[in-house]
Amino acid sequence: MQQALAFDDADRLRVESHQLMGVLANLGATDAAAACGRVETDARAGDLAAAVASFTDARPAITTARAAAVRLRRAPVTR
């Protein structure tokens, strides 16, 4: 998403934010998924200035979800 924003590529940003939104929704990270949805909406509208703001707002939720996924992946499996 950062690279798509850096290159002002609204189409790529829309696709990537949509894909990440789906992954986050499947993981139950609803706040992060909703934040990605806002980025996707801005990208779909071609409003990259709004997309930058939405992405900036979304980053903490995405970072939190990523950290939780890493912890889960590293957690030992118990029986």
What is the distance between the alpha carbons of residues 9 and 27, in angstroms, rounded to a whole number? 27
Contact residues for 55 (Cβ-Cβ < 8 A; gap 6+):
1, 2, 5, 39
Residue 24: predicted pLDDT: 94
Burial group, residue 13, by CB count within 10 angstroms (0-12, 13-18, 19+): buried
Residue 32 and residue 65 in contact, taking contact as beta carbons nearer than 8 Å? yes
Structural domain spans, the chain: 2-74
Q: What is the pLDDT tens value at each position of the chain, 79 positions in all?
A: 999 999 999 999 999 999 999 999 998 999 999 999 999 999 999 999 999 999 999 999 999 999 998 988 887 777 7
pTM: 0.87
pLDDT at residue 35, as a whole number = 95
